[in-house]
Structure 1
Amino acid sequence: MNDIDLSPELYVEFSRGGGSDSGSIYHVTRHKAGGQVSARVARFFITDARIPAEGFFPHKRLDCFVVDKRLVPKPERLAGILFEALKKHGAIDEPAWLEWYVAKGLGGKPYGEVLDFD
């Protein structure tokens, strides 16, 4: 797992390997007492473009899914900052296709033992 600071308020936590890399972007709110709260604001995936070769050059794609539009009012700006940071750290390079989305979680439930509150 690797962490990259995007700004004083945003950082990336990501995993590499297996042909696709993925991670989350967190927004940090710091308290006067020195504590902090992190909220996930986006998820991203780096993959090889799986399209027919005709008419396209081989490239990577970076898909950025913003899940908190209140803390990320400009998803395209966050996606661009993320691309540049990942490029700087060798996680992606040009040529690449960058795409951003606004996503909303609609629910979820555990299957098997997922949560441990003991």
Structure 2
Amino acid sequence: MNDIDLSPEFYVEFSRGGGSDSGSIYRVTWHKDGARFSAPVARFFITDPRIPAEGVFPHKRLDCFVIDKGRVPKPERLAGILFEALKKHGAIDEPAWLQWYVAEERGGKPHGNVLDFE
């Protein structure tokens, strides 16, 4: 796992391998007492198209899913900063398709023995 600073307010936890690179983006908030708080605000995935479509050159794809629109009011800006940082660290290069989304958690439930509150 690699950490990459995107800006003073955002950093990435990044994992590579197995043909699927992915990570989480966190927003850093500093409290008055100097304590640092990090909140997850987005997830991203770097993929290769499995079957190249006709009329499309081989390229990488970077999909950025913003999960906290309150802390990321401009998803396109965060996606662009992410692309440039990943490019600088050799994780992606051009040609690439950059796509951003605003995702909303709609629910979830455990399957099997997941939670341990004791």
TM over 0.5: yes
Q: What is the Cα-based RMSD across aligned positions, in Å?
A: 1.3
Alignment partners' CA distance in 1, 2:115 and 2:28: 24
* 1:78 matched residue in structure 2: 78
Q: How many residues align?
A: 118
Counterpart code for 2:62: L
* 1:110 matched residue in structure 2: 110
SS of the equivalent of 2:93 reads coil
Q: Which TM-score applies when normalising by structure 1?
A: 0.93
Question: Identity over aligned residues, as a percent?
Answer: 83
Alignment partners' CA distance in 1, 2:93 and 2:105: 30
Counterpart code for 1:6: L
Listed as ranges, the gaps of 5+ residues in structure 2 are none
Counterpart code for 1:88: K
Matched ranges for 1:6-85 at <5 A = 6-85=6-85
Contact 2:52–2:58 (8 Å) recurs in 1: no
Alignment partners' CA distance in 1, 2:33 and 2:112: 38
- Cα offset, 1:109, TM superposition: 1.4
Counterpart code for 1:50: R
Deviation by residue 1:54-101 (Cα, 9 ceiling, x = unmatched)? 311111000000111111111111000000000000110111000000
Counterpart code for 1:90: G
Counterpart code for 1:24: S
Contact 2:66–2:75 (8 Å) recurs in 1: yes
1:92 matches 2:109? no
SS of the equivalent of 1:55 reads coil
Alignment partners' CA distance in 1, 2:114 and 2:99: 31
- Could you list the structure 1 runs, at least 4 aligned residues long, displaced by more than 2 angstroms after superposition: 50-54, 112-118
Listed as ranges, the gaps of 5+ residues in structure 1 are none
- Cα offset, 1:49, TM superposition: 1.6
Q: Which TM-score applies when normalising by structure 2?
A: 0.93
